[in-house]
């Protein structure tokens, strides 16, 4: 029997699956299911529920559960050898939280294969919707938690990050403050990752150290819940949190629901899941310092492994735990793919026309800059959405397309300086990494080559590799991360995109102009806000 491992990725816009054959080192199955298209009855837009408040971004947890049923049904129908799968792990969009009441634990152990997951989960939530990573409605709660923990630097030193609006702790605090009765009825709080793992394992799953670090609740060095942070967040919180665990820990056998319904092997192991960015560290094979990953998904993220924990005193960047046992640094931009899409759509283009626009305009864009804060931004922190242009008119389609991509790459270069890592090679992933014209701007701005690996869904691949690692460890095989990731994550030789030296020199100069325009715009926004609130 071949050794198959299944990796799932419950992301903002989709649920994906990758099956790997470990011995023949092949990806044998890959599939993605887009929430808006496959499950239109949840009425999400890009996986998110519409809300009158632009700062509030929630998604329905039942949609993620229904997607899991649908994906397994498709795998079964397409003849995927689910009976040969030895272990299942997964990756979830980070920070989002799911709220279970006292009925959940019992319902999970008794999942009935005659019913759907949605039917099985009826009545187990104390909150119908889940705040996700795009939510930025908790500035007040961030301030309260940060003050209790001793300021930006101290909060980052303790939890790995300053208090951030999308992080789970501030979200829990807002829930406690605004709906105390529902908070009281909450028996257990899960992340998207641990929620999905709970379905697979048929019991409340632990939260892994990688995703747990994105909550402002975990002691980043001790990898344990931090009592001061819990106290600063909400009362009786400790009792509502599951245990923490290594990202590759086996929870137990998969729930009989998946055995009876879809033919998973009863001895197949269900593992703890992690966040999409920690999983991408594994899925891209960037397990040594100096290797940098950039994901161009719904969010744009810049990340890399870090051997010793060093936090960002200015509070823009994060330190999470890497599934390999090291740490990882990360900065996250909310205005990633959806901002590129928005500019593209404004000028009625498709991706080919967008790429032609990049080809028609020179690096540096004649000094034209566009800050693409279509939604409130995480780095730098901007709570008033808006587009800001310098030396650029809204009536210049091609220059605006170049400007959005250049600004995104310059922002990554500028705001990653605290990491003090010399970027020698970038491993690109996420939906937009399919676009070589965008990656060329990335290589030129960063001044180093950009590569892709065979599999574009690095988070799902990382999850499959974590499943393999956890299974091998349980079998007593002492697996080694470099070996586990090596063959699957070899960069595609032909995919290397080299920086153009002349363009890199243009961007070195432009970085100063960009930084100055960004600072000036932030000052202007702050002034307008203070006049409005005076």
Contact residues: ligand ADP, CB under 6 A: 11-14, 297-298, 337-338, 340-341, 351, 430-432, 434-435, 438
| CA dihedral for 36, 42, 47, 49, sign (positive or negative) | positive
Q: Are 458 and 283 in contact (CB under 8 A)?
A: yes
- Output the six-digit token pair for 110: 């008794």
Which of ligand XUL, ligand ADP, none is residue 301 near (CB under 5 to 8 Å by kind)?
ligand XUL
* Comparison of 195 and 257: residue with beta carbon closer to ligand XUL: 195
- Rounded to an integer, what distance in angstroms lies between the CA atom of residue 67 and that of residue 35? 7
Beta-strand ranges (E) seen in 369-519 are 369-373, 386-390, 425-429, 450-451
Q: Which does 155 bind (CB under 5 to 8 A by kind): ligand XUL, ligand ADP, none?
A: none
If contact means CB under 5 to 8 A according to the sort of partner, which of ligand XUL, ligand ADP, none does residue 332 touch?
ligand XUL
133 binds ligand XUL (CB under 6 A): yes
Smallest distance, ligand ADP to C-beta of residue 45, A: 11
Q: How far apart are the first and last CA of the chain?
A: 70
Closest-CB residue for ligand XUL? 94
Bridge partners of 105, per DSSP, are: none
Query: CA–CA separation, 532 vs 534, rounded Å?
Result: 6
CB of 510 to ligand XUL, least distance (A): 26
- Partner that binds at residue 13, options ligand XUL, ligand ADP, none, CB closer than 5 to 8 Å by kind: ligand ADP
12 is a contact residue toward ligand XUL (CB under 6 A): yes
Contact map string, positions 265 to 304, toward ligand XUL, x by CB under 6 A:
----------xxx-------------------xxx-x---
- Complex with ligand XUL: residue 336 or 364, whichever CB lies closer: 336
What x/- string results for residues 148 through 167 when contact with ligand XUL is judged by CB under 6 A? ------------------x-
State phi, psi for 21 to the nearest 5 degrees. Answer: -100, 110
Residue 82 binding partner per list ligand ADP, ligand XUL, none, with a CB distance cut-off of 5 to 8 Å that depends on partner kind? none
- The region that residue 224 occupies, defined by phi over 0 for left and psi between -120 and 50 for alpha, beta otherwise, is beta
State the DSSP string of 99-157. EE-TTHHHHHHT--TTS-HHHHTTT-BSSSSEE-TT----HHHHHHHHHHHTSHHHHHH
Which residue, 94 or 129, has its beta carbon nearer to ligand XUL?
A: 94
Give me the least distance between CB of 167 and ligand XUL, in Å please: 8
Q: For 93, phi and psi rounded to 5 degrees?
A: -55, 140
DSSP-derived letter for residue 386 is E
- The entry of ligand ADP, ligand XUL, none near residue 166 (CB within 5 to 8 angstroms by kind) is ligand XUL
Structure tokens at 218: 């975990």
Q: Please, which residue, 334 or 340, has the CB nearer to ligand ADP?
A: 340
Chosen from ligand XUL, ligand ADP, none, partner binding at 249 (C-beta under 5 to 8 Å by type):
none
Identify which of residues 91 and 265 has a Cβ nearer to ligand ADP in the complex.
Answer: 91
Which is closer to ligand ADP, CB of 351 or CB of 418?
351
> 474: which residues sit within 8 A by CB, 6+ positions away?
250, 269
| Nearest Cα to Cα of residue 440 among 431, 452, 430, 424 | 452
133 touches, from ligand XUL, ligand ADP, none (C-beta below 5 to 8 Å by class): ligand XUL
Buried b (16+ CB within 10 A) or exposed e, 234-268: beebeebbbebbbbbbbbebbbbbbbebbbbbeeb
Which of residues 295 and 398 has its CB atom nearest to ligand XUL in the complex?
Answer: 295
Residue tagged 């250049």 (tokens): 406
- Tell me whether residue 370 or residue 379 sits nearer to ligand XUL (CB atom): 379
Out of ligand ADP, ligand XUL, none, what residue 317 binds, judged by CB under 5 to 8 A for its kind, is: none
Q: x/- contact string, 314-333, with ligand XUL (CB under 6 A)?
A: ----------------x-x-
Judged by CB under 6 A, how many residues of this single chain contact ligand XUL? 16
Interaction residues for ligand XUL, span 164-183 (CB under 6 A): 166
If one counts every other C-beta atom within 10 angstroms of the C-beta of residue 407, the result is 24
Give whichever of 47 and 202 is closer to ligand ADP, judged by the CB atom: 47
Label residues 269-281 b or e (16+ Cβ within 10 Å = b).
bbbbbbbbbbbbb
Give the binding site for ligand XUL (CB under 6 A). Answer: 12, 93-95, 133, 166, 214, 275-277, 297-299, 301, 330, 332
């Amino acid at each position: 029997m071949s050794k198959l491992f299944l990796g799932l990725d419950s992301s903002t816009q989709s649920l994906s699956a990758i099956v790997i054959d470990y011995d023949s080192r092949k990806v044998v199955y890959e599939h993605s299911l887009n929430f808006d298209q496959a499950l239109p009855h949840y009425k999400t837009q890009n996986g998110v529920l519409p809300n009158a408040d632009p700062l509030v971004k929630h998604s329905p947890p039942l949609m993620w559960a229904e997607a899991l049923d649908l994906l397994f049904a498709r795998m079964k129908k397409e003849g995927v050898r689910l009976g040969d799968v030895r272990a299942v792990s997964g990756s979830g969009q980070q920070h989002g939280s799911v709220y279970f009441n006292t009925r959940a634990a019992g319902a999970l152990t008794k999942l009935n294969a005659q019913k759907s997951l949605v039917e099985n989960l009826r009545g187990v939530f104390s909150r119908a919707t889940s705040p996700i990573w795009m939510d930025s409605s908790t500035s007040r709660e961030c301030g309260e938690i940060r003050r209790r923990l001793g300021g930006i630097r101290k909060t980052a030193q303790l939890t790995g990050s300053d208090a951030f609006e999308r992080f789970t702790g501030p979200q829990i605090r807002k829930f406690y403050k605004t709906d105390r009765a529902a908070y009281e009825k909450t028996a257990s709080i899960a992340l998207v990752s641990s929620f999905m793992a709970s379905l697979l394992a048929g019991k409340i799953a632990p939260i892994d150290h990688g995703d747990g670090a994105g909550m402002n609740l975990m002691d980043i060095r001790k990898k344990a819940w931090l009592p001061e942070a819990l106290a600063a967040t909400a009362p009786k919180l400790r009792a509502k949190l599951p245990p923490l665990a290594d990202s590759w820990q086996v929870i137990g056998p998969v729930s009989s629901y998946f055995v009876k319904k879809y033919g998973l092997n009863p001895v197949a192991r269900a593992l703890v899941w992690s966040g999409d960015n920690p999983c991408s560290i594994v899925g891209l094979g960037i397990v040594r310092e100096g290797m940098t990953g950039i994901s161009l998904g719904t969010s744009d993220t810049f990340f890399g492994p870090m051997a010793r924990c060093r936090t960002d005193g200015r509070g823009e960047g994060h330190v999470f735990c890497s599934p390999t046992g090291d740490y990882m640094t990360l900065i996250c931009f909310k205005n990633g793919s959806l901002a590129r899409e928005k500019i593209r759509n404004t000028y009625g283009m498709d991706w080919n026309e967008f790429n032609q626009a990049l080809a028609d305009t020179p690096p540096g864009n004649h000094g034209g800059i566009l800050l693409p804060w279509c939604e409130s931004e995480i780095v730098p922190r901007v709570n008033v959405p808006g587009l800001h242009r310098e030396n650029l008119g809204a009536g210049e389609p091609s220059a605006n397309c170049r400007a959005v991509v250049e600004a995104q790459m310059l922002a990554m270069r500028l705001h990653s300086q605290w990491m003090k890592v010399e970027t020698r090679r970038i491993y690109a992933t996420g939906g937009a990494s399919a676009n070589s014209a965008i990656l060329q701007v990335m290589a030129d701005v960063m001044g180093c080559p950009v590569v892709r690996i065979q599999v574009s869904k690095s988070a799902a691949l990382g999850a499959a590799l974590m499943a393999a690692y956890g299974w091998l460890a349980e079998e007593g095989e002492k697996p080694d991360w470099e070996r586990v990731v090596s063959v699957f994550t070899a960069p595609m030789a032909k995919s290397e995109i080299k920086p153009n030296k002349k363009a890199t020199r243009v961007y070195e100069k432009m970085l100063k102009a960009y930084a100055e325009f960004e600072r000036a715009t932030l000052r202007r926004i702050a002034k307008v806000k203070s006049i409005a609130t005076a």
